[in-house]
Chains A and B, each alone.
Chain A
Amino acid sequence: MGPSEFTIRLAVLNISYLTTAILFVIGLKLLSKPETARAGNRWAAGGMILAIIATLLLHRDAHGDSIHPGNVILILIIASIGTVAGWVIARKVKMTAMPQMVSFYNATGGIASGLVALTEYSDPLNPSKLVTLLGITLGMVAFSGSLVAYGKLVGKISDWTSSAMKYINLFMLLLVGMVIVISFLPSTSPKAGQILAYFLFAVAIVYGILFVMPIGGADMPVVISLLN
């Protein structure tokens, strides 16, 4: 967010975001004690709702346009479909299948952030290319990695270990780094940069898969945690 002129609307929006952040931290803090854990989860959920409502009502783009009512309706429809889907799956799933579930949600979160970063990349006003490119990479690695972790926990994907894996992963990491560096070279045109961003998107997905492949089932919670 760049410097913008003071308006009451913007002030309220930012105070809402600040409140959300505080609610998240309080929520996490409460989550760390068994007695208060449930309340903590609710606090964090409350913070999320606040952030969503504040954004819907108060956000303005670079031209000062607020979100159109038509778009608000579209957003609400899609968000409620997603919410119902997430809710129903979360309620129905067996208690023993919880780690898989978390892994699956992790994947949805990952793809969401990857896609946001990808669209931001095409915005010429975008202030920081590096952050965006990292966002694409991390989001998509989290997405595909979590999906593989999910498959392993369910038992559909078996471990696939090979001594060459270490080198392949190292190579993938270098490839990601190289793509980011290339897109920063002054000789890279915006058009080529665009293609590179999509390329990075694809490479990150493959990297996520390869990264989780050789890891055994018992270590999965650690992996999910890391991808988080």
Chain B
Amino acid sequence: MIHILEFIFTYRYEIFILVLAGFLGIEVISHVPSVLHTPLMSGANAIHGVIIVGGIILLGHADVSHLSAELILGILVVFFASVNVAGGFVVTDRMLEMFRKKAGKQDLKKSS
């Protein structure tokens, strides 16, 4: 029990952020028209690719003079994460392209 309390105390700021971010996520995502659910899911998936930053940090400080597990894993992470990021945003953009054609005039006014 004391360990759990200690854990909560040590990470109190992180827990704050986590909880508030949870509410923020619900707030932002709710009231979305159902036609937009798919692009939104895809966009959120692309944002998850931010793990690429972790990969960059990992690979950035890896020793490149010889092959190590860190190096190989770092390369894999950066590769997969960049596929995730680029693919995610491009796919989302393509989905939204279709809306644009359908929406027509009303859309052209607002986007530029």
A residues apposed to B, CB below 8 Å: 20, 24-25, 27-29, 31-42, 44-45, 48, 51-52, 55-56, 59, 61, 65, 67-68, 70-72, 74-75, 78-87, 89-91, 93, 95, 98-99, 101-102, 104-106, 108-109, 111-113, 115-116, 118-119, 128, 130, 221, 224-225, 228
**B interface, over-half SS:** helix
**Are A32 and B36 neighbours in the complex by a CB distance under 8 Å?**
yes
Q: Could you say which residues of chain B place their CB within 8 Å of the CB of A101?
A: 87, 91
**Are A28 and B103 neighbours in the complex by a CB distance under 8 Å?**
no
**Are B78 and A75 neighbours in the complex by a CB distance under 8 Å?**
yes
**Are A78 and B44 neighbours in the complex by a CB distance under 8 Å?**
no
**Are A86 and B29 neighbours in the complex by a CB distance under 8 Å?**
no
Q: Could you say which residues of chain B place their CB within 8 Å of the CB of A56?
A: 56, 60
**Are A112 and B77 neighbours in the complex by a CB distance under 8 Å?**
yes
Q: Could you say which residues of chain A place their CB within 8 Å of the CB of B100?
A: 38
**Are A75 and B83 neighbours in the complex by a CB distance under 8 Å?**
no
Q: Which 5 A-B pairs have the closest CB atoms?
A: A82-B82, A86-B87, A67-B60, A86-B86, A90-B90
**Are A90 and B28 neighbours in the complex by a CB distance under 8 Å?**
no
Q: Could you say which residues of chain A place their CB within 8 Å of the CB of B61?
A: 61, 65, 67, 71
Q: Could you say which residues of chain A place their CB within 8 Å of the CB of B57?
A: 55, 59, 61
Q: Looking at chain B, what size class is its interface with the partner chain?
A: 35 or more
Per the 8 Å Cβ criterion, residues 76-108 of B in contact with A are 76-100, 103, 106-107
Contact partner, A105, options B29, B56, B91, B98, Cβ 8 Å: B91
**Are A44 and B89 neighbours in the complex by a CB distance under 8 Å?**
yes
- Offer 15 A-B interface pairs, CB within 8 angstroms, sorted by A: A29-B28, A34-B107, A35-B106, A48-B50, A48-B85, A68-B60, A71-B59, A82-B81, A85-B87, A86-B86, A87-B90, A90-B90, A101-B87, A109-B51, A112-B77
Given contacts A36-B110, A71-B64, A225-B41, contact A85 B83 (CB under 8 A): yes
